[in-house]
Amino acid sequence: MTNSLRRSALTATMLVGVVAAAAGCRFDGINSIGLPGNAVGGDAHEVTVELADIQNLVGNSPVKAGNVIVGNISHITGDNWGAKLTLELDPDAEIPVNVSAKLAQTSVLGSQYLELTVPPGTEGVGRLADGDVIPLARTSQYPSTEEVLSALALVLNGSGLQQIRTVTSELNRVLGGREESLRSLFGNLEEFVGGVDQQRDDIVRAIDGLDRLGAELASQNETIDRGITSIQPALQVLDEQQKQLTTMLNDVGRFGEVATEVLESSRDDLDANLRSLQPVLSQLAAAGDHLPEALKIAGTIPFPVTTTQRAVRGDYMNLFLTLDVSAETVGGKVLGSIPLDELAGLNPARQAVDPLLAPTGATTSGRPATSAPQNGAPR
């Protein structure tokens, strides 16, 4: 039995050697042996691909372009915390030069492979040739199975679902029955955004103005610093007199309270005084047009102040007098203004007197003036 096992091992070794020789490749382990349908016949193009992370990718994995196998990965080496993949591509495959490489997986639990695609929105340029390099900037990878399962476990373990449920419940409670208000809010928000958009130039100018102001303030740093330094003593004085200022403000507050009490207590008397002044003020208002005219003659009787210079000139005075001695005037105005008791005591003169001396009560001879007989009448 031992001899048969030895013969089987020798046969397997010889088969591996024959296959390796037929493939014309170096032997780096079992992954160096091409799989059925994965080998590239003829002279293959070798292309180098730089990847930041190869995950679980192994040698001899397929290379696809447009979901078609166009080659395989012949060798994987490490380079500066990254990886370099040597691809053997079918020379008949038309692969553009600007192609990108992406590490993909056939299924969640399937094997990994390298996918060659042209970036979306970009046209293919040229043709990938032997010795070309796909740099790290044009390589990427899909999320690995471990990443997908860990993210799914994080969600299913209630990390964020309970919070999302709470937020949804609160939103439903807040918005329930307020649909019209919410619609009007959106309308007002649209109007507000439109207004802001219309004033965009003004906002830009305001921002530019603030920028210029900031630049001006920056250029005046020394002046502002001197101003702050100069105002510091005044602030220190205010700080030292804080108690006095507080006391003054408290006293002003108490004065206001006392003044309020005084006004409240004397409100009725003040109102009565103002009401008593109302008739006087009304009469003054009614005599407003006559009072200035009376003041014109008050200090210069009998001449108005406007005619004083024309009435008195040196040692003489000009007088123009209009005297009304009609019976109606004398009886109605002159005599009507004299009280009855004084009017009854009057002794009207019955004789002629000197009009210049009669007011003094003396005659030309020094005796009291008496009435002279008229037409021989006795005294």
Domain that holds residue 246: 242-313
Using CA atoms, how far residue 341 sits from 332, 338, 347, in Å, is 17, 9, 13
Pair 276, 196 in one domain: no
Q: Is residue 358 part of a domain?
A: no
Query: Which pLDDT belongs to residue 254?
Result: 92
Indicate whether 107 belongs to any domain. yes
Which amino acid makes up residue 75?
H
Q: What is the pLDDT of residues 329-369, one digit of tens each?
A: 777 777 767 776 766 666 665 666 666 676 666 554 455 54
Instruction: Tell whether 275 and 200 lie within a shared domain.
Output: no
User: Cα-Cα-Cα-Cα dihedral of 207, 209, 210, 216, to 10°?
Assistant: 150
Are 217 and 224 in contact, with CB atoms under 8 Å apart? yes
- pTM (predicted TM-score): 0.36
Res. 86: pLDDT tops 80 = yes
Q: Looking at the domain assignment, is residue 92 inside a domain?
A: yes
332: DSSP letter: I
Containing 149, the helix (H) or strand (E) segment is helix 145-156
Does a structural domain hold residue 137?
A: yes
- In this structure, are 15 and 108 located in the same domain? no
The fraction of the chain above a pLDDT of 90, given in percent, is: 12
Same domain, 250 and 293: yes
Report the domain count for the chain. Answer: 5
CA nearest to 142, candidates 56, 75, 203, 243: 56
pLDDT (0 to 100) of residue 376:
43
DSSP code of residue 128: -
Chain centroid to CA 22: 79
- Beta carbons of 266 and 260 less than 8 angstroms apart: no
CB atoms near residue 85 (< 10 Å): 24
* Range 12-24 average pLDDT: 48
Mean pLDDT along residues 176-184: 83
The confidence band for 15, taking pLDDT boundaries of 50, 70 and 90, is low
**Among 15-19, 147-151, 237-241, 303-307, the least confident range:** 15-19
| pLDDT of res. 232 | 87
Is 322 domain-assigned? no
* Torsion sign, CA atoms 140, 144, 150, 152: positive
pLDDT at 373: 46
Element (H, E) at 292: helix 290-298
Question: Which of 121, 155, 176 is the last residue before a domain boundary?
Answer: 176
For 186, the token pair is 């959106």
Place of tokens 């192609």: 99
pLDDT at 43: 76
Instruction: Say whether both 90 and 124 belong to one domain.
Output: yes
Residue 33 pLDDT exceeds 60: no
Q: What pLDDT, on the 0 to 100 scale, is given for residue 19?
A: 47
Establish if 378 belongs to a structural domain.
no
**pLDDT score at 325:** 77
pLDDT bin (cut points 50, 70, 90) of residue 38 is low
Same domain, 236 and 257: no
Q: Residue 338: inside a domain, yes or no?
A: no
As a residue count, the chain comes to 379
pLDDT at position 379 over 60 = no
Instruction: Tell whether 131 and 48 lie within a shared domain.
Output: yes
- pLDDT surpasses 70 at 170: yes
Same domain? 184 vs 248: no
Claim to verify: residue 170 and residue 182 sit in the same structural domain: no
What digits encode the pLDDT tens for the residues 93-107? 888 888 999 998 888
Domain match, 203 and 270 both: no
- The band of 80, judged by pLDDT with boundaries at 50, 70 and 90, is confident
How confident is the model at residue 127, as a pLDDT? Answer: 87
User: What pLDDT is stored for residue 295 in this prediction?
Assistant: 73
What's the half-sphere exposure (Cβ side, CA atoms, 13 Å) at 133?
A: 7
- Which of 95, 119, 142 marks a domain boundary? 142
Task: Return phi, psi of residue 71, to 5°.
Answer: 170, -170
Residue 24 shares a structural domain with residue 86: no
Tokens encoding 56: 């679980």
Q: For tokens 């407003």, name the residue.
A: 288
Domain end marker among 267, 286, 313:
313
**282, part of any domain:** yes
Cα–Cα distance for residue pair 237/5, rounded to 1 Å: 108
Q: What is the CA radius of gyration of the chain?
A: 63
- In this predicted model, what pLDDT tens digit does every residue of 298-321 receive, in sequence order? 666 666 667 666 666 667 666 667
Average pLDDT over every residue of 217-221:
89
More confident call, 232 vs 5: 232
As a whole number of angstroms, the distance between CA 212 and CA 220 comes to 12
Residues 247 and 224 in one domain: no
Residue 199: the pLDDT is: 92
